[in-house]
Amino acid sequence: MAGKKKVFLDASIFVAAAGSASGGSSLILEVCRGLLFSAVTTRRILLEAQRNIRKKLSSEAILRFYKEIAKLNPEIIGPPAKESLSQYDDIISLKDRHVLSSALESKAAFLITLDRKHFQT
Residue 42, sorted as left (phi over 0), alpha (psi -120 to 50) or beta, turns out to be beta
Superfamily (CATH) of domain 5-112: 5'-nuclease (3.40.50.1010)
Q: How confident is the model over 2-29, as a mean pLDDT?
A: 96
Helix 24-32 and helix 11-19, axial crossing angle in degrees, nearest 10: 110
Range with the poorest average pLDDT among 1-5, 30-34, 73-77: 1-5
- On whether the CB atoms of residues 76 and 42 are closer than 8 A, the answer is yes
- On whether the CB atoms of residues 85 and 77 are closer than 8 A, the answer is no
**Per residue in 49-87, pLDDT tens?**
999 999 999 999 999 999 999 999 999 999 887 777 776
pLDDT in the model for residue 108: 97
pLDDT in the model for residue 81: 79
Name the residue type at position 66: Y
pLDDT in the model for residue 83: 75
- Domain range annotation of the chain: 5-112
Assign 8 to helix, strand or coil.
Answer: strand
Distance CA 80, CA 13 (A): 20
- Quote the DSSP letter at residue 114: S
pLDDT band at 1 (very low <50, low <70, confident <90, very high): very low
More reliable by pLDDT, 87 or 6: 6
The size of the chain, in residues, is 121
